[in-house]
Amino acid sequence: MKILFLIRHGKASLEGSERERGLTEEGHQHAKQITNILKNLSPKINKIYSSPLNRAILTIKPLSEYLEMKINEMEDLKEKITGDTSGKNLNDLKQKMWDDFDAKLPGGESSSEATNRALSALNSIVSQLEEGENAAVQCHGTLIALILHHFDNNFGFKEWKNMSMPDIYKISYNDHDAIVEHIGCDSIETFKIGD
């Protein structure tokens, strides 16, 4: 068995570029609280992987410092690229991209493309783990939602909107399949897009 803990980052700042946006003050508190949850998980975390986007790195950094483990950055764990949304209703666009996995905006990627990229990253991580090892995988809400949809096609737009920020999911891989379970962040005051 190999286990991945998928972590959605803490509340992000809206200031700066997509790659450089950091965390709000609340988001920094989320990062500390996530560390408290993850350091007490069983089985223990052996490796840490993260999206290279700043808000993701800032969320997982306290755990890496506590465990004295390096953060392995993976470009394929970055958030789904939405593309040019100028003058458009973002909520309607997101709904459309959940309804049609091949739909995409100029400069963006489709849900199918983002899903394939995310699954490639997860498969790469699993292949780097020894049997019985586990990894923390820090990424983003839409990307995690697409991964969850891959394992359960009932997970869609409504479920994505109801995910909390931060959030934690566990994927247990054995020889034949993968089992997904929601760990959550019950001890943390979270934020939801659907609120």
Using alpha carbons only, what angle is made at residue 15 by residues 14 and 17, rounded to the nearest 5 degrees?
100
Strands 178-182 and 134-139: unpaired
CA gap 131, 187 in Å, rounded: 31
**Does any domain span residue 29?**
yes
Residues of the chain with confidence (pLDDT) below 70 = 187-195
At 14-40, the pLDDT tens digits run: 888 889 999 999 999 999 999 999 998
**Does any domain span residue 117?**
no
At 68-90, the pLDDT tens digits run: 999 999 999 999 998 888 877 87
CA gap 76, 172 in Å, rounded: 20
Residue 150 belongs to domain with CATH number: 3.40.50.1240
Give the SS3 label for residue 12. strand
**Does any domain span residue 23?**
yes
Residue 195 has what pLDDT? 43
> Structurally, how many domains does the chain consist of?
1
**Does any domain span residue 100?**
no
**Does any domain span residue 184?**
yes
Task: Determine the structural domain holding residue 141 and report its residue range.
Answer: 2-80+128-192
